[in-house]
Structure 1
Amino acid sequence: MKRTLIGVSLLCIGTATFLTACSSKQNVGVSQTTGWDYNDPRLGGFDVANYPGQQTGPGLTFVEGGRFTMGQTEEDLTVERNNIPRTVSVSSFYMDETEVANIHYREYIYWMYRSYGSDYPEVIAKALPDTTCWRKALSYNEPLVQYYFRHAAYNYYPVVGVNWNQANEFAKWRSDRVNEYILIKNGFLKKNATQVNEDIFDSETYTNGQYDGTPGRNRKRDLDPQGSGKRNMRYSDGYLLPNYRLPTEAEWEYAAVANIGNNPERETGRRRGEEVITDRNVYPWGDAYTTRYGIRNSYQGQFLGNFKRGKGDAMGLAGGLNDNADIPAPIYSYQPNSYGLYNMAGNVSEWVLDTYRPYTSDVNDFRPFRGNVYNTYKRIAEDNQLDEKDSLGHLSTRILTDEEVMAKEIFDGNTADLRNYQDGDSASQYTYNYGMNTLINNDSKIYKGASWNDRAYWMSPGTRRFMQAKQSSSTVGFRCVMDRLGSPNGRNDERAGNYFGKKGGRPPRK
């Protein structure tokens, strides 16, 4: 009896120790919910990665999010009142240091020729920039039509003549190429320079099992006891990056204003930061109301951006050119702002993701955006499996039906296309009558910032203009962003939230 009691006591102690270990150590290899080991094929093989944190994609720089006053805070010279100031919050993200350059877009066109040129020449024609955007009835711009996009002299000048639809397609292509190279570099795939048509790598077809390519020597082991032994990488493995895309208007404006440069108590490795902003920038470079370099040295008086000082004055006088550029300048010209972003004012205006509406006070105050159109993958009705990829190697999508949207009971509105939500739809007080009373419809897209051919007024980040998504211009280019996943301060060795030592708790292990 005594031995039995001792045995029961030891069992109780062991059970208590097990439960304590689960709750206090929070071992990444053991489920805090069930106590089962992760990554053990003998226990079902639930695969959990030891995630090191999001890596910075090519060309990107980190933009820490936060609160700011979005909208036109300077004098509204056009009296349009189409960007009413309001306080919003923007999540952290990554943004291209520079505009997309001619050489970057030519790489895209080259890849399209190599992959689709033989069988789908119309795909290449659809992707090419409109080099005739330089033509003006009373200007001689034929050299720019012929050479600006193609000649090596302009390799690192911002690409222009790209419409909103083309910019989005470029971002999708770029996402696939970056993820493909990540898989190749880590040995999950082998290089394949001959892929064409439906056999090209696409991130979504790969993660959904419709692209295998040539497996590399490090292909992931499938821990599922009923699996095939090896498998493709998943987003849950932590290697694949989120998609590149156009920035929302709020993201672009937030990054351009760069109020972080006006915080004298920013967080460092030794101390926490404070919520202090001494001033709001008028221009991205931070000087209150000047467009010239102000420090007393050899650069004093030089223009800080590429813009048009006045009518007929594109670059100043010979021997002392004010901005040293008559058309767009190379993408690393002029001084970056406090986030390290170049040419957020001047050089070229830039497409953003939003659909244009003149009344802006109705947007959400967290990650504001107008332009949502909710899509889903097409599926086979009989078994609900994904449709086969199309002839270009992409998964087919469709817009959600009104019935599907209403069944969710969580979306605003009762339709999947919310571009005109509460501003142009049947329930709103506004109608635009495109082509009759206005030039506004659901394909009106916003572009931000001044160009080489604009006055300084447009360099204030709160200004906004619009064109149709299918239109392009010699003054409009674009840059891409990527969502930040995880801690908003950009540090991969920290988790979101505040922690206060052992007494206040601690973040879960990676």
Structure 2
Amino acid sequence: MVLRSRSVQSGPAFKAGSHPPESAPDGMVWIPGGEFLMGSDDPMAWEEERPAHQVRVRGFWMDQHEVTNTEFAAFVMATGYITDAEKAPVLEEIMAQLPPGTPPPDPKDLVPGSLVFSSPEQVVPLDDISNWWSWKHGATWRQPEGPGSTIEGREDHPVVQVSWNDAQAYCKWAGKRLPTEAEWEFAARGGLQGKNYVWGDDSPTDERVFANTWQGKFPSQNLQKDGYQRTAPVKSFSPNGYGLYDMAGNVWEWCQDWYDKYLFRTYEEGAVQDNPAGPASSRDPSQPYTPLRVQKGGSFLCHDSYCQRYRPSARQSSSPESGMSHVGFRCVKDIIQP
């Protein structure tokens, strides 16, 4: 049974003069901009979410839902674009992201492919992601789980196995761009202030479902109480206060920003960050040789027992050329200046 999210509580949504000066682009909604508390000091927050701080963003248009397989297929058909997962990895680029002295990968693995989630058959430790993630030769946006899989019947699901580079290329073709992390989080909150989730403060459970997330024991038991084993069709769950769908769960979404794990600690206490566009470069001590971009929103793999990263303040990262079977994106568009 899927319980729809509760009615949205009032917040800093539309104000006099905040409506856009132009008609809505197809499939997009207006995000009015404003000031909000970004990040979180809640006990469940991860260290990279701290401290919470005031941020001001300007108004912008945002896709109502994640870019779908149908939409991405139209882009590929129009441009002949080849995604990163469809290209053979370059040995020099791989070695540049590894600690000095790391042995090179087996040449047989330098073929097109991507990372795919597979549920193990038994309970496994949660400190080793290789128990459920593996590199699959031939895994692409057309074959999200590798050879033999297909997007047939999933045309209205979010496209996955797309890298940050791929998302950038699509946005440029569509006359749009990726959202900054601040824009994304402001939009995800939908006008709610200080809430843990995009729908309010009610914690999801295996029986109380608000989004496409994991129910059961991660990663070996998926009860599918939300109705989906992997991705769900876009707009399957209730929208937030701005009319945006799937800002929690379904797939992680790329943002424009470089990822700095401790960025929020560098801000002056009490200062308001005005329309921040992220740091000049990435920083994560656990991955010192890998450039990283921000991802937001969590995915169908998030569960209370593992990460709780379907919260709007949560953040994670990946290298710009990487695709995974639970990562997609949506676009934003600036207003046309007179």
Name the structure 2 match of 1:30.
none
Task: Work out whether residues 351 and 478 of structure 1, in 8 Å CA contact, stay in contact via their aligned partners in 2.
Answer: yes
Partners of 1:344 and 1:463 in 2: CA distance: 12
Task: Within 5 Å, give how 1:417-456 maps onto structure 2.
Answer: 418-419=280-281, 438-440=286-288, 443-456=291-304
After TM superposition, give the deviation of residue 337 of structure 1 in Å: 0.6
Specify whether residues 470 and 312 from structure 1 end up closer, same or farther in structure 2 by C-alpha distance, changes over 3 A only: closer
Specify whether residues 313 and 283 from structure 1 end up closer, same or farther in structure 2 by C-alpha distance, changes over 3 A only: farther
Name the structure 1 match of 2:189.
257
Name the structure 2 match of 1:472.
323
Specify whether residues 449 and 337 from structure 1 end up closer, same or farther in structure 2 by C-alpha distance, changes over 3 A only: same
Partners of 2:265 and 2:316 in 1: CA distance: 17
SS at match of 2:275: coil
| Unpaired runs of at least 5, structure 1 | 1-51, 114-122, 176-243, 263-278, 294-300, 372-417, 425-431, 487-509
Name the structure 1 match of 2:174.
174
1:346 maps to 2:235: no
Task: Work out whether residues 84 and 321 of structure 2, in 8 Å CA contact, stay in contact via their aligned partners in 1.
Answer: no
Task: Within 5 Å, give how 1:79-94 maps onto structure 2.
Answer: 80-94=47-61
Identity among equivalent pairs (%) = 28
Name the structure 2 match of 1:161.
161
| Unpaired runs of at least 5, structure 2 | 1-19, 88-111, 119-129
Task: Work out whether residues 167 and 329 of structure 2, in 8 Å CA contact, stay in contact via their aligned partners in 1.
Answer: yes
Name the structure 1 match of 2:5.
none
SS at match of 1:95: strand
Specify whether residues 255 and 313 from structure 1 end up closer, same or farther in structure 2 by C-alpha distance, changes over 3 A only: farther
Figure out how many residues of one structure are paired with residues of the other and give that number.
267
Specify whether residues 131 and 99 from structure 1 end up closer, same or farther in structure 2 by C-alpha distance, changes over 3 A only: farther
SS at match of 1:447: strand
1:61 maps to 2:43: no
Specify whether residues 62 and 314 from structure 1 end up closer, same or farther in structure 2 by C-alpha distance, changes over 3 A only: farther
After TM superposition, give the deviation of residue 353 of structure 1 in Å: 0.8
After superposition, the C-alpha distances for 1:326-376 in whole angstroms (9 at most, x for unaligned) are: 1011111111111111111111111111111122243571101225xxxxx
Name the structure 2 match of 1:311.
218
After TM superposition, give the deviation of residue 83 of structure 1 in Å: 3.5
SS at match of 2:79: helix
SS at match of 1:134: strand
Task: Work out whether residues 133 and 145 of structure 1, in 8 Å CA contact, stay in contact via their aligned partners in 2.
Answer: no
Structure ranking higher in helix proportion: 1
After TM superposition, give the deviation of residue 281 of structure 1 in Å: 2.1
After superposition, the C-alpha distances for 1:146-169 in whole angstroms (9 at most, x for unaligned) are: 465x53301011111111111101
1:362 maps to 2:270: no
Name the structure 2 match of 1:333.
236
Specify whether residues 132 and 54 from structure 1 end up closer, same or farther in structure 2 by C-alpha distance, changes over 3 A only: same
1:458 maps to 2:296: no
Task: Work out whether residues 355 and 442 of structure 1, in 8 Å CA contact, stay in contact via their aligned partners in 2.
Answer: no
Q: Residue 259 of structure 2 aligns to which amino acid in structure 1?
A: Y
Name the structure 1 match of 2:39.
71
Task: Work out whether residues 164 and 351 of structure 1, in 8 Å CA contact, stay in contact via their aligned partners in 2.
Answer: yes
SS at match of 1:459: coil
Q: Residue 115 of structure 2 aligns to which amino acid in structure 1?
A: C
* Structure showing greater Rg: 1
Task: Work out whether residues 30 and 60 of structure 2, in 8 Å CA contact, stay in contact via their aligned partners in 1.
Answer: yes
Structure ranking higher in strand proportion: 2
Partners of 1:478 and 1:247 in 2: CA distance: 9
1:324 maps to 2:172: no
SS at match of 2:156: coil
Task: Work out whether residues 328 and 452 of structure 1, in 8 Å CA contact, stay in contact via their aligned partners in 2.
Answer: yes
After TM superposition, give the deviation of residue 77 of structure 1 in Å: 5.4
Name the structure 1 match of 2:195.
281
Task: Work out whether residues 38 and 185 of structure 2, in 8 Å CA contact, stay in contact via their aligned partners in 1.
Answer: yes
Q: What is the Cα-based RMSD across aligned positions, in Å? A: 3.1
Name the structure 2 match of 1:291.
204
Partners of 1:304 and 1:257 in 2: CA distance: 14
More RCO (CA 8 Å, sep 6+): 2
Task: Work out whether residues 49 and 313 of structure 2, in 8 Å CA contact, stay in contact via their aligned partners in 1.
Answer: no
Partners of 1:468 and 1:302 in 2: CA distance: 34
Specify whether residues 54 and 74 from structure 1 end up closer, same or farther in structure 2 by C-alpha distance, changes over 3 A only: same
Q: Give the alignment's TM-score, normalised by structure 2.
A: 0.70
Partners of 2:49 and 2:287 in 1: CA distance: 14
After superposition, the C-alpha distances for 1:62-117 in whole angstroms (9 at most, x for unaligned) are: 11111100012322454x3443210111111111111111111111111123xxxx
2:68 to 90, 97, 101: 101
Specify whether residues 131 and 441 from structure 1 end up closer, same or farther in structure 2 by C-alpha distance, changes over 3 A only: closer
Q: Give the alignment's TM-score, normalised by structure 1.
A: 0.47
Task: Work out whether residues 307 and 314 of structure 1, in 8 Å CA contact, stay in contact via their aligned partners in 2.
Answer: no
Q: Residue 290 of structure 1 aligns to which amino acid in structure 2?
A: S
Specify whether residues 438 and 323 from structure 1 end up closer, same or farther in structure 2 by C-alpha distance, changes over 3 A only: same
Partners of 1:347 and 1:324 in 2: CA distance: 12
Q: Residue 182 of structure 2 aligns to which amino acid in structure 1?
A: A
1:124 maps to 2:103: no
Partners of 2:177 and 2:288 in 1: CA distance: 23
SS at match of 2:172: helix
After TM superposition, give the deviation of residue 440 of structure 1 in Å: 4.0
